[in-house]
Structure formats: structure tokens, C-alpha cells
Chain A
């Protein structure tokens, strides 16, 4: 059975999906290595021709934006 709450990335490591944020027609997927919580990465989820892909972000600016989105959403939920 496929578990879509996890993803095995190109480095062969399995990551947990900890958050998904939709913004400006993009879906940002936040991934953490459950065995090493400082091992964090972010992907975008896209659909092409009926298939779903995880792709990298364009640049540091987009990573920073994704971090801001995560922070704003989760800090708001804490308040």
C-alpha cells in the first residue's frame, strides 16, 4: 500500500511529510527525515499529463518564501 504521507527522495532517504501549503497556485511539501530532524527539505508538487511529481524549488528566494509561509501558518495556528 502506498503511503503518501512519506516520500523517498533521490538520496534514498525516506522523509515524512510534515506540512503542505498551497500558495499562488503552488503546492509546497515540507519533508523531514524522522531519524535526523535537522535534515529538512522542501519540494513542490506538480501535476503534468495526469501524473504527480515532486520537483525542487527554483532558487533561494523561493525556499525563503516557503519558510515564511510555513512560519506564518504554524505560528498563526499556535495563537
Chain B
């Protein structure tokens, strides 16, 4: 499923990125890699970004990005 629709506070595994190799590289640049275990902490209202916890850090991701990240529940 897409990260955007993952349930809150549930551990999911970063599986792949849909159709956007540049995005994968960009995510790597921020320390986010395939196989990482994430969990969505909260979502900003008004269509704003998601706050995701990964490897002990918290990263905000825009919705358009979360829509391209495919995850599976652990």
C-alpha cells in the first residue's frame, strides 16, 4: 500500500518507490532507504505533509511523496 494511506502509529516497511528513481535517490540523501522500518506519527491538516518516524529520527514528507512510496505492514 502507499505510505500515504498507512495506518497511524503502525510499523511498516519501506518496500519501493513507484516510478520515480530520482525520488529514491533524494530519499537516500535524507537517510531513508528501502527496507527501513517506518511509522507514520501524524499528518498535518489541510492536505499537509506526514510526519514519519524512521531509525530514531522524525522526517516530514509531503503527501505527493508519500503517495509514491510503497510500504507493507510488518
Chains A and B are bound partners: no
